[in-house]
Homo-oligomer: A and B are copies of this chain.
Amino acid sequence: MKTLGTITLRRSQGPSLQCSLATQLKKMIQRGELLSGERLPSSRELASTLHVSRNTVIAAYDMLVSEGYLESVERSGVHVGRAAQAFQFQLATRARRSIAAVNLRHVEPKTCFRPPLPFRPAQPDVRLFPIKIWNRHRAHVLKRGVNLLHYQSVFSSGLDSLRQHIAEYLRDSRGVRCDWREIAVTSGSQQALFLLANLLIKPGDRVYMEDPGYLGARLAWKQAGAQIVPVPIDDEGACLPQVDSGPVSLIYVTPSRQFPLGTCMSLGRRLLLLQNAVRLQTWIIEDDYDSEFRYNSPPLPSLQNLDENRRVIYVGTFSKILFPSLRIGYAVLPPDLVERFANLKHIAEDHGPLVDQATLAEFMDSGAFHTHLRRCRRHYAERQASFLDAAARAGLPLRFPITDGGMNIGGLFPNDTDDFSCSEQLRLNGFDVPPLSRYSIANVYPGLLFGFTAFEPRTIRRGIQNLATVIEKNKTTAIFKRGSRVERLK
């Protein structure tokens, strides 16, 4: 029996004496200094050794008995529990842990929220968002009662009222034909893509995807184990292969405004695509990520509008209209997928945050949504004009072939440009302008993708001037050297 003289107890502002004693005993057991079966001093003895009251020792012993570290045997006192044997085993394997722990890179916590750098694509100007009006609706929604704070099992596909407003909005503005029950609210459109990948793709399945195309979608198909078949883009949009070398589980397109090139898919190509979906017995995902923003003409009806066979899944988001950190998106599902998607959503997270959803439903109902959308359209049209004007004045070595709306403009370099290096040079100078090649698998269009919506006209003008200077400075380096790009892409 040990006397446990190594234990030291200090009366301080920290934990109570009994906690401190229990913790030290526990550590001795864990370190193997007290072995399974070993008898401990009686409470009287230990109290006297440590100069504490007997009650302190009894309380510490009780705590450890209830946790299983000690066992109290009648007439034989307190022993280290049998379970403690296992600590021997742990000691032997402890070495491995310290190795594993090193793998974690040291990262400082980030404490501030940053606005996007110019000209990061697809970022709304959140300063235009009427947060006060939003908060007023939120307060109103909360006043209706606390039950909104409860779990609501019936709403795993989103609040019915929000789904109804989304259905109405999509019908009126995008010609989407759907019943509100075919709408599932998701945590941004990314969650919709991820869940659809889970639902529709088995490992090894083939997916037709626009190339260049949206990275978030590509990651979702890859994660599900898909084999991606890159589909090239021409003036009319995606050109599906003439001959299919096997079954296809999914076709992913951005027909309203091809991401990132900006092409609008022609009616002929749309109809062909729908025919192909029926022939291949596959699903089409129409990702309509920013067609709210057309500045000179009303938005084109969606591909889903033309689909008589219900093969099109229409995906959209509020991130770009309201604000990105809200995380509300949606999928419009063909009837055959409604229940399957709802079941998967239930497993994947169940319903999202309901207070935000109820607030959005009221925000849409009140008309504030449409007012905000019109206001954004007005500002963004002005910013697009500023951008194109500034780019023309600055004499950038880029062509901007498609400029009919949206939040981004793709600028094309001459064919032999190394857009990766150029983008990297710009990054070092405080710009966030991704190279078009980043979105490519097989079909490379060297260029840069510019967003203009988050920046005021004077920021745009100054930014473009500085950007032109950086590009001019690097003109003589590898950026414009033939061949360098190809190697980088390998």
Contacts and interface: CB of A to CB of B under 8 A. Distances in A.
Contacts of A63: 298
Counting chain A residues whose Cβ lies within 8 A of the other chain, the interface size class is: 35 or more
A181 B115 contact: no
B83 A150 contact: no
A427 to B, nearest CB: 14
Interface stretch (A4-12, A92-100, A363-371, A460-468): A92-100
A338 interface: yes
Given A149-B126, A324-B151, A268 B68 contact: yes
A74 interface: no
A469 interface: no
Contacts of A309: 90, 93-94, 96-97
Given A101-B310, A344-B223, A352-B327, A147 B188 contact: no
B103 A335 contact: yes
Interface stretch (A46-54, A269-277, A412-420): A269-277
A355 interface: yes
Given A113-B152, A160-B111, A309-B96, A87 B142 contact: no
A296 to B, nearest CB: 10
A31 to B, nearest CB: 11
A45 to B, nearest CB: 25
A259 to B, nearest CB: 16
B164 A109 contact: yes
Contacts of A487: none
A136 to B, nearest CB: 12
Given A266-B83, A267-B68, A148 B349 contact: no
Contact of A100 (B146, B161, B335): B335
Interface in A327-344: 327, 334-336, 338, 344
A420 to B, nearest CB: 19
Interface in A94-145: 94, 96-97, 100-104, 107, 109-116, 123, 126-127, 129, 131, 135, 139, 142, 145
A392 interface: no
Given A216-B347, A275-B89, A348-B190, A100 B310 contact: yes
Contacts of A160: 109-111
Given A97-B309, A194-B348, A325-B353, 11 more contacts: A66-B297, A67-B267, A83-B270, A94-B308, A100-B335, A114-B152, A129-B146, A149-B324, A190-B349, A223-B344, A325-B354
9 contacts: A68-B268, A81-B267, A89-B271, A109-B160, A123-B151, A135-B142, A150-B323, A151-B325, A188-B350
9 pairs of A and B residues whose beta carbons are closest in the complex: A68-B267, A86-B271, A83-B268, A151-B324, A109-B160, A149-B323, A113-B147, A126-B149, A325-B354
